[in-house]
Structure formats: C-alpha cells, structure tokens
Structure 1
Amino acid sequence: MNISVVIPLYNAEKYIVETLESIINQTYPVDEILVVDDCGPDRSAEIVKEYSKQHPSVRLIQQPHNQGGSAARNRGLQEARNEWVLMMDADDTIHPNLLKYQLEQLAEYAGVEPAPVCVHPAYVQTDANGNILPNSEYRGQQLPFNETFGSLLVRNYIITPSGLLLNRGAALEIGGYRTNFFVSEDAEFILRLSRKGTFVYFDKPYVYFRRHPTSITSDLKKASNAGKAILEVYSIDEIREAIFNRSFDDQKNLLDFITLLYQYQLFDEGFRYLADITDEEYQQSKLFYQALYYIENNQEIEASCYLDQVLILNDSHGAALNNRAVIYAKNNDSKKACELLESAIILFPGYMDATDNLQAVKKGTREYRFTKRELRKNLLRYS
C-alpha cells in the first residue's frame, strides 16, 4: 500500500527538517510527502525546496496566499495520489516504526463495518527542543463505531493531526477540514469523521507532540471557545443521544452529559441533572460539579463547602485543590492557598491553572483561574 504524507507549513523553519527526517526514516517507506506552504514570513519554504533536491519524494505546494492550516490540509488531501494519507504538523516528529505498525493494525480491521476511516496513535509530549516531558503520555482507546462520536465529545483524545492516518476518500467525502471554522477545527473534523466510519487505535506513543510558545498560544485560544463552537454544529438532543448510546452505565453517561452542559455554559440545566447522580462511585464528581455551579454564580461560601467534601473523599483531586486554593486566596489566606496549589502541581506536573495561580498568589496580582472540569491523568503541557 502506498502512503502519502501531508504537512501544512507555516513559520516552522526551526523544526521542519526534523519533521521531514522522521518521515523519510520510516521503516515502511512513504510514496510522497506533500508540504503545503501557507505563505509564512520565515525561511520554511526555502528550506523545504533545498531538502527536496536530495529527496525526490518531497514536493512543495505553494498556496496563493495565507489561508490557514485547514485550507493547507485540504489542498494536500486533494493533491495526494494515494488512498491513505498520513497527516503531520510541521513541528512534530514520529517514531521510525509508526507507519509500519499502523498499517498492521489497519489490516486487522479488514472487513469491519463500517470500514475504517483512520488510524490514530497515542502520543508523548516534548519541549521545544524535542526532549520528552516526563509523565506526558497521552493515550486513546479502541471504541466501537456507535460509541466513538459520543466519547470524543466528552474527551477528545486525538490531540493533534500529527500521526493521524486518514482514508483520503472518507476525509474528502465529509468536506475535509472546515476553512471557516477557526476554533478547534481539528477536533471538529474528527467529530464529523467519527460518524463516517470506524476509528482504529494504535496504542503506542509513537508521535512526539512538540509543545512550544506558538502552539501553546493557539491551543489555549481554541480551548477557551471550543464548547460554544461545538454547540453551533450539534444540537443538545444530538449530543444527549450520542452520550447515552455508549455502553457505560447510565450514571456515568449522565455525569458525562452534565460535564458537557457545563462546558457549553448551560450550568442551570447541568446542575438540575446532578440530583440524579446517586451512585457512590460518582459522588466526588457530583460534589465537584455542584461546587462549580456555585463558583459560576459567585457563591463561594457554598462552593467551599462542596470542595471541602471532595477533598475529604479524595485529597488528590487536582481540580478541587486548585479551586479551593483560589477561594482561600481571594479571602487573603495566602498560606493555605499556596499549600493546596503546591500539592496540586506535585500531583499533576504541568497543571497550568495551579501553576499560574501559585504565581499570582506569590506576586499578589489577584488574577486567579478556576478549573472548570476534572483533570485527566496526564495533562496537556502548556508550559
């Protein structure tokens, strides 16, 4: 099977050669590498031109003017000559065996209906210099087709296009990446694709996801508006149906639906549903989201009562530690606030809210940030 690679290129002169080398050095050789230049102001395109002289499989495609990453990816998908396309960002790298093992995994799903439309890997995060960050693995899961859309709504575990092996026909049939969708456009594409066919998961962290100031700024901007943007695409009824279509017990599905209502700023509706969470297994989550409701309504005394109950049940609850610390800080108890924030950072390295809040307490700036949902085991690194 011949494989194409598509890489949108914009201001990546520091990283693009390393990215290309990781693709050229795959143990399963690629047929073509399409680098789509989105007219950045640096030397990225010139570097790729020079590189292509030594590597004929690399082809530079020039956009007429800057149109954004979605348009660049679509251009690459349209011009690719093969059925399967490996997507990459210009600053990430991949393990030499990624493609080999992805294709082996794909072969195991031959005959599955609906047919596979992508293979997505696990990831490990690196700093700007390519050094692997400790405890930064980010894993997905293999799901049946009818549960994928709902699960991705709750937690999108495909955190970057890099390493995503796409069926070109399926990607084009759904319209590719939306060029008029400027918030979480990668996640929005993945959600549409998940309704087209089966997602195959490769459970090895063979994509090295580089975290540097430019990418971090972009991610934060997207994350802050993602909930509102998703609601503009899907109705609450569609979302409810997708969540409850999963094979989890009704209480977990309900709790996940509540977290989405909160994410979409529908706090009153979500809070009413919390009364139906009765299983002991979900009590600390219920208490946390009850506290968050009162935080959103500026009722911090009530919020503190619920957060204290969470921490009695689980003193390692990172988001509760952060949010309780913020309330302490706002009430001028800096010592207690720092203790809780330092505990949260030890438990969750890279926890940005807690890190920034700790600095704010020490500097006395009083610019604090509450965490609006429970934490994943390993966090995306923003610093």
Structure 2
Amino acid sequence: MNISVVIPLYNAEKYIVETLDSLINQTYPIDEILVVDDCSSDCSAKVVKEYSQQYPIVRLIQQPYNQGVSAARNQGLLEARNEWVLMMDADDTIHPNLLNCQIEKLAQYEGVHPEPVCVHPAYVQTDVEGNILPNSEFFGKQLPFNETFGSLLMRNYIITQSGLLLKRDAALEIGGYKIDFLISEDAEFMLRLSRTGTFVYLDKPYVYYRRHVMNTSSDLNKISEAGKAVLDVYSIDEVKEAVFCRNFSEQKNLIDFVTLLYQYRQHDEGFRYLEGVTDEEFKESKLFYQALYYIEKNLELEAILCLDQLLVMNERHGAALNNRAVFYAKKSNLIAAQKLFDKALLQFPGYMDATNNLLVVKEGKGEYRFTKRELRENLLRYL
C-alpha cells in the first residue's frame, strides 16, 4: 500500500525539519510527502526546498495567497496520488513505527461494513522543545460506527490531525475541510467524516503533539465559541438521537445530553432534563450542572449551595473547586480562593481556567473564568 503525507505549512521553520525527519525515518516507506506552504513569512518554504534536494519524495506546494490551514490541507488531498494519506501538522512528530502499526491495524478491518475511512492513534503531548510532558497521554477507544458521531459530539478525542491516516476519497467526497471554520475546523471535519465510515483506533501514543503559544487552541475563549459553532451545524434532534444511540445507560446519555444543551446555551431546557437524572452514580454531575444553571442565571446562593454539596461528596472535583473558588474571589476572600485554585491545579496540572484565575488573584487584574463542563481525566496542556 502506497502512502502519501500532507503537511500544511505556515511559519514553522523551527520545527518542520523534525517533522520531516520523523516521516523519513518511518519503518514503513512513504511514497510522497506534500508540504503545502500557505505563504509563510519566515524561511519555512526555503527549508523545505533544501530538504527536498536530499529527499526527492518531499514536494513543496506553494499557495498563491494565504488561505488558512483548511485550504492547505484540501490542496494537499487534491494533489495526493495515493488512496491513503497521512495527515501531519508542521510542528508535530511521530514514532518511527506509527505508519507500520496503522497499516497492520487497518488490515484487521478488511471486510468491515461500513469500510474504514481513517485510523487514528493515541498521542502524547510535548513542550515547545519536544520534551514529553509527564502524564499527558491521550487515549481513545474503538467505537462501533453508530456510536462514533455521538461520541465525538461529546468529546473530541481526536485532538490533532497529526498522525491521522485518512482515506483520500472519503475526505474529498464530504468536501474536505471547511475553509470558513477558522478554529476547530478539524473537529468539524471529523464529525462529518464519522457519518461515512468506520473509525479505526490504534491504542499506541505514537504522535508527539507539540504545545506552544502558536497553537490556535491555546485561546480558551475561542475554543468555547468554536465548540458552539460546530454544534450549530446540527439540529438538537440530530444531537439527541446521536447521543442516546450510544451503548451507555439512559442516565449517562441523559447527563451528556444536558452538557450539550448547555453548550447550545439552552440552559432552561437542559435544566429540565436534569430532573430525569435520578441514579446515585450521577449525583455529582447533576449537582455540578445544577450549579452551572444557577451561575448562568446569576443565582449565586443557589450555585454555591450546589457546589458546597458536591465538594462534600468529592473534594477532588476539579471543576467544582475552580467554580467555588471564583465565588470566594468575587467576594474578595482571596485566601480561600487561592487555596481552592491550588488544590484544583494539584489534581489537574493542565487546568487552564484555574491557572488563569490564580493569576488574576495574584496580579489583581483580568477576569475570572467559570468552568462550564466536568473535566477530562487528563487535560490538554497550554503554554
């Protein structure tokens, strides 16, 4: 099986050689590497040209004007000559055995219907210098076709396109990446793709995802707006059907649907659905989302009561610690606030809301952030 690679490139002269080296050093040979330069203002294109003189499988494609990462990825997909394309970003690297393991995994799904349209691996995060961040691994799971769309609506467990082995025709048939999504364009793309075929999961953290200030997702306010923009593509009925068809208990699906209603900013509707959450297993989640409703409605006493009850049940609930601390801070009880922010960060070292809020406490300027959903076990790291 011949494999193409597509890399959108913009001002990544510091990292692109590492990325290319990790591709050249794959144990499974790559047929072509297409680097699509989106009018970089640094020496990125020059670096790639020089690299291609040593490795002719590397080809530089230069966009006529700056169009964004989605257009660059689409151009690469259009010019790729092979059925399967490995997507990469210009600042990430991969393990030498990634591609070989993906192809072996793909072979296990021969004859599966609907046929596979991608293979996505687990990944680990690194700092700007490429050092692996401790406890930063992100693992997904193999999902049946009919549960993938609903699961992606809840949590985008394919955080980066780097290391995604993609079926070219399937990507082009759905129109590629949308160029009018300036952030979370990859999440929106994966949602559409998930309705066309099977997603195959490789349970190896073989993608090294670099975190630095140039990561667009480091702006959490933009993430929030982008998440809503992605959800707005689909109707509430579509979302509800997708969430409830997952192989979880009715109560689990119900609490997840409330989470999405809140993201749609339909808090009254979500609060009504919370009444149906009766299992003891989800009592913490119910209290948390009741508190969020009261926060949204500026009912401070009611929100604090829910958060206090929740923290009695689970003193390690990171999002509740953060939100309760915000109320302390707003009442100028900065010692109590700092204690809870510190505790949240001890539990979740990558917790950006708590990091931001602690900085506001210490510097006396900026805005406090409430956390609007319960936390993942491992958080993305932002520098």
C-alpha distance after superposition, 1:130-175 (max 9, x if no partner): 0111111111110000000000000010001100000001111111
Distance 1:156 1:95, change over 3 A: same
- 2:210 is matched with 210
Aligned length: 383
- After superposition, where does 1:287-326 map in structure 2 within 5 Å? 287-326=287-326
Residue identity (%): 73
- Kept in 1, the 8 Å contact 2:183–2:216? The answer is no
CA distance in 2, matches of 1:221, 1:81: 39
Per the TM alignment, residue 216 of structure 1 is displaced from its structure 2 partner at its CA by 4.7
Partner residue, 1:169 = 169
Alignment correspondent of 1:328: 328
Give per-residue Cα distances to partners, 1:156-200, cap 9 Å, x unaligned.
Answer: 100011000000011111111011222311000000000000000
Say whether residues 1:376 and 2:376 are aligned partners. Answer: yes
CA distance in 2, matches of 1:351, 1:286: 22
CA contact (8 A) 1:290 1:306 kept: yes
CA distance in 2 between counterparts of 1:217 and 1:100 reads: 30
Given that 2:8 and 2:69 are in contact with CA atoms closer than 8 Å, whether structure 1 keeps it comes out as yes
Q: Does 1:97 align with 2:90?
A: no
Distance 2:112 2:380 in 1: 32
How far apart, in 2, do the equivalents of 1:66 and 1:130 lie?
27
Distance 2:166 2:183 in 1: 21
Matched, 1:122 2:135: no
Q: Deviations over 1:295-327 (max 9, x none)?
A: 111111110100011111111100000000000
Once residues 107 and 363 of structure 1 are traced to their aligned partners in structure 2, the CA distance between those partners, rounded to angstroms, is: 56
Tell me the distance in 2 between the aligned counterparts of 1:291 and 1:269.
15
Letter in 2 for 1:214: M
Where does residue 18 of structure 1 map in the other structure? 18
Q: How far did 1:350 drift?
A: 1.4
Aligned counterparts of 2:312 and 2:279: Cα–Cα separation in 1? 17
The 5 Å alignment of 1:18-97 reads 18-97=18-97
Aligned mates of 1:65, 1:216 — CA distance in 2: 20
Counterpart position of 2:189? 189
Q: Which amino acid aligns with 2:93?
A: T
TM-score, scaled to structure 1: 0.98
In the TM superposition, residue 220 of structure 1 has moved relative to its aligned partner by 3.1
Q: CA RMSD in A?
A: 1.0
Aligned partners of 2:97 and 2:355: how far apart in 1? 36
SS at match of 1:214: coil
Q: Which residue of 1 aligns with 2:140?
A: 140
Aligned to 2:229: 229
> Is the CA contact 2:7–2:89 (under 8 Å) kept in the aligned structure 1?
yes
Is contact 1:37-1:63 (8 Å) kept? yes
Distance 2:66 2:305 in 1: 51
C-alpha separation in 1, matches of 2:353 and 2:141: 27
Deviates more, 1:227-236 or 1:171-180: 227-236
- Using the TM superposition, give the Cα deviation of residue 86 of structure 1 relative to its aligned residue in structure 2, in angstroms: 0.2
- 5+ long unaligned stretches in structure 2: none
Q: Distance in 2 between matches of 1:221 and 1:234?
A: 21
User: d(CA) in 2 for partners of 1:219 and 1:111?
Assistant: 42
SS, match of residue 120 in structure 1: strand
The gaps in structure 1 that reach 5 residues or longer are none
